[in-house]
Structure 1
Amino acid sequence: MSSKTRALPLLFSALLFLIHINVSAAQTTVVKAAYWFPDSGQAVSTINSTLFTHLFCAFADLNSATYQVTISSTNLPQFSTFTQTVQQKNPNVKTLLSIGGGNSSPSTFAAMASQATRRKAFIDSSIKLARNYSFYGLDLDWEYPSSATEMTNLGSLLTEWRAAVVNESTTSGKTALLLTAAVFRNADYYSINYPFSSVSSSLDWINVMTYDFYGPSFAEGKTSTYPPAALYNGSTSLINGDAGIVSWINNAGISTKKIVIGVPFYGYAWKLLNPNNHGFFAPANGSAIGAYGDQGYNQIKDLISRGYQTVYNATVVSNYCYNGTTWIGYDDTQSISAKVSYAKGKALLGYFAWHTGADTTTWTLSQTAFSTWG
């Protein structure tokens, strides 16, 4: 066989890869998504899937010995029927199996991504699980690659994952699985850049986690109240969502049509030092509720119904409520609507929320986001 002949299969594979990327991107015109996870206590059957184009089932696990993706026996009954269950109310909703999460071990992901054989074990097992349980895609939630080497290995993982997905689609004749990833609020993780080229060419989109900027247990939030997920910095040096989104567009060169902005369906509760000083940046002393202060929107609305006062700050795009020495920063309908309008104005692919179980029984925030996008 001549060198020219040998090059043809490689050229065909490359063209197939590029065709898949373009077709996949064209097929997903908007993302109105949210994550569901079993620890929320919400039954899958109660999710109002008519309010979403995509739903993420979280989380599958990564075995630290085999580096295969697994689903725990506890979660398997709900995960294995997740797609069929949510499609009863919305046959068009697409489901993705999310792997990892904030409680998973970053070192296990780093070890997996460091060797080709381990990456293959991860990739092959993830595709098998997705097909076995009728998911439309896979989502990587590695929080977070924390060195230049780990970012390089992440790039290799994404490239190989995409190639395997394309190959599986060709072999099976099925539509290629979607590939997405939940990523840090900025295009760099504390000055360590993500593998921009691999992210752009291998993923259908990224879920940018534009929340969890401040909390009462965080270093910068222990002594003052803060907006946990501000969209803008106002006149201060606040960490904010706009700066993160802009970094992914300008610094990383990621197309806006591959960026999905994150919105939180929860907030954090601080303990005020002075109940009469209750604005943003008021003196505080850690969490007012529990060790971390996290409260779902449904819990916050219950407190508001009991007399908590509410304030919306359009400058930073964040809400807070207070009663006595308890102060909660969160996103309500005003800030959710403003953030979704921002995403649409920036020509982003869409938005996602963490998480469905924290919304109210009437789906207040999900309804707001869905109708705002239109």
Structure 2
Amino acid sequence: MAAKLLIFLFFTFPFLLQFHFSAGQNPVRAAYWAAGSEYPVSSINSTLFTHLFCAFADLDPQTNRVTVASANQARFSSFTSTVQSRNPNVKTLLSIGGGSSPPAAFASMASQASSRKSFIDSSISLARSYNFHGLDLDWEYPSTATEMTNLGSLLTEWRTALNNESTVTGKPRLLLSAAFFRNSDYYTLLYPITAIRNSLDWINVMAYDFYGPGWSNVTGPPAALYNPGTQVSGDYGIRSWIRSGIPASKLVLGFPFYGYAWTLLNANNNGLFAPASGAAITPGGDLGYGQIRAFIGQNGPSEVYNATVVSNYCFKNTTWIGYDDTQSIKAKVSYAKQNALLGYFAWHVGADDNWTLSRTASQTWGA
């Protein structure tokens, strides 16, 4: 009778069954720590997170093995023990790749079973030797249909290897996540949905870098949750993943602890999508949240929260900065909860301002 009831529920109300399974998973309240930021690992307030990502390990294009630069080995090897000294329950994942890693190296590695095996075996060995609880892939981005297919093979084989290693050693299976593009397709190239659904514990959806002075000649919300009339928003991306077949309970919404500064063409035209002539303040216009708050404190710009797109911005003379402040973070975390997502993550902890955004996110989730 119970089996018949489950079958009836599955076909009649599939969302109920999805909720049943997602309710058993631990929520993800996460952030990345970036070695390049030089922010001390010992300063991370790990009590505000359930998971922390150590970024980034590298892919050796000659051997197809996962490596850690010599300058990072001490920090990476002690990362877990350091963050657990303040929060013994926090889980750590070693993230591999990143935006500055050559995508061709990942494409080459994933193209052959033997090179995939070298990558997978070395990742597991490294994670175990450094006492990480899991592994995270950040391949930005597979750019052909063949590369997407090979990504699927990599994930499937990686999950099998993790299961086998756990069985042989008796240790808990390492977690496996990946940071993917905001949508389930990368400019019409569909991600390997079945392999992703069956292999990953969750997806980190990179719902940011929508607008920036390096690629948009107008101001814009760098990480809009909504963007009426366009497909460039976090909400559209999340819904595209769900439509593709990934359950909401495997999706983790990403948001930035940084923003972008533009130079306005006209100081009097200072709203969203105002014409701009490039970056302001820094060569690329990128500013950590702490830097943005310092600019606000020193210059007294006008500050605006736009609830329609869920983004903050400020402006003074011809300097215009788009970013997420506490209002945006609250709205995004509430969105994640209301849509039964697994959680949220931020890039990156070193850019926060005295844990203002991290604490806002954690309190909004209700930790």
Range into which the TM-score falls when normalised by the shorter chain: over 0.9
- In structure 1, the gaps of 5 or more residues are 1-23
Q: Distance in 1 between matches of 2:275 and 2:211?
A: 14
Per the TM alignment, residue 327 of structure 1 is displaced from its structure 2 partner at its CA by 0.3
Q: Distance in 1 between matches of 2:160 and 2:247?
A: 21
Task: Tell whether 2:77 aligns with 1:96.
Answer: no
Please point out which of 299, 310, 321 is paired with 1:317. Answer: 310
Q: Distance in 1 between matches of 2:183 and 2:353?
A: 30
Deviations 1:262-313 (A, max 9, x none): 0100000000111121110111101012231000000000011121221000
TM-score, with length taken from structure 1? 0.91
Q: Distance in 2 between matches of 1:352 and 1:93?
A: 14
Please point out which of 345, 359, 364 is paired with 1:367. Answer: 359
Please point out which of 183, 188, 204 is paired with 1:186. Answer: 183
Task: Tell whether 2:201 aligns with 1:204.
Answer: yes
Q: Distance in 1 between matches of 2:144 and 2:205?
A: 19
TM-score, with length taken from structure 2? 0.92
Per the TM alignment, residue 28 of structure 1 is displaced from its structure 2 partner at its CA by 3.6
Corresponding residue for residue 157 of structure 1:
154
Corresponding residue for residue 248 of structure 1:
241
Corresponding residue for residue 84 of structure 1:
81
Corresponding residue for residue 281 of structure 1:
273
Per the TM alignment, residue 238 of structure 1 is displaced from its structure 2 partner at its CA by 5.8
Corresponding residue for residue 223 of structure 2:
229
Q: Distance in 2 between matches of 1:62 and 1:25?
A: 33
Q: Any residues of structure 2 matched to 1:1-374 within 5 Å, and which?
A: 28-218=25-215, 221-222=216-217, 224-234=218-228, 236-237=229-230, 239-250=232-243, 252-306=244-298, 307-361=300-354, 363-374=355-366
Deviations 1:158-193 (A, max 9, x none): 000000000000000000000000000000000000
Letter in 1 for 2:136: D
Where 2:71 maps in the other structure, the secondary structure is coil
Confirm or deny: 8 A CA contact 2:97 2:139 kept in the other structure.
yes
Q: Distance in 2 between matches of 1:107 and 1:147?
A: 11
Deviations 1:225-247 (A, max 9, x none): 1111101113x426111000000
Corresponding residue for residue 7 of structure 1:
none
Q: Distance in 2 between matches of 1:145 and 1:33?
A: 24
Per the TM alignment, residue 62 of structure 1 is displaced from its structure 2 partner at its CA by 0.1
Letter in 2 for 1:114: S
Letter in 2 for 1:143: E
Letter in 1 for 2:250: K
Q: Distance in 1 between matches of 2:266 and 2:159?
A: 54
Letter in 2 for 1:281: F
Letter in 1 for 2:289: Y
Confirm or deny: 8 A CA contact 1:25 1:204 kept in the other structure.
no
Q: CA RMSD in A?
A: 1.1
Confirm or deny: 8 A CA contact 2:264 2:320 kept in the other structure.
yes
Q: Distance in 1 between matches of 2:291 and 2:189?
A: 37
Where 2:61 maps in the other structure, the secondary structure is coil
Confirm or deny: 8 A CA contact 2:22 2:342 kept in the other structure.
no
Confirm or deny: 8 A CA contact 1:260 1:349 kept in the other structure.
yes
Q: 1:210 to 1:140 in 2, by over 3 A?
A: same
Q: Distance in 1 between matches of 2:46 and 2:208?
A: 23
Confirm or deny: 8 A CA contact 2:55 2:94 kept in the other structure.
yes
Confirm or deny: 8 A CA contact 1:229 1:240 kept in the other structure.
yes
Confirm or deny: 8 A CA contact 1:217 1:291 kept in the other structure.
no
Q: Distance in 2 between matches of 1:212 and 1:91?
A: 33
Confirm or deny: 8 A CA contact 1:265 1:297 kept in the other structure.
yes
- In structure 2, the gaps of 5 or more residues are 1-20
Letter in 2 for 1:227: P
Confirm or deny: 8 A CA contact 1:159 1:198 kept in the other structure.
yes
Where 1:55 maps in the other structure, the secondary structure is strand
Q: Distance in 2 between matches of 1:316 and 1:50?
A: 30
Q: Distance in 1 between matches of 2:311 and 2:56?
A: 28
Deviations 1:60-119 (A, max 9, x none): 000010000000100001000000000010000000000000000100000000000000
Q: Distance in 2 between matches of 1:138 and 1:238?
A: 30
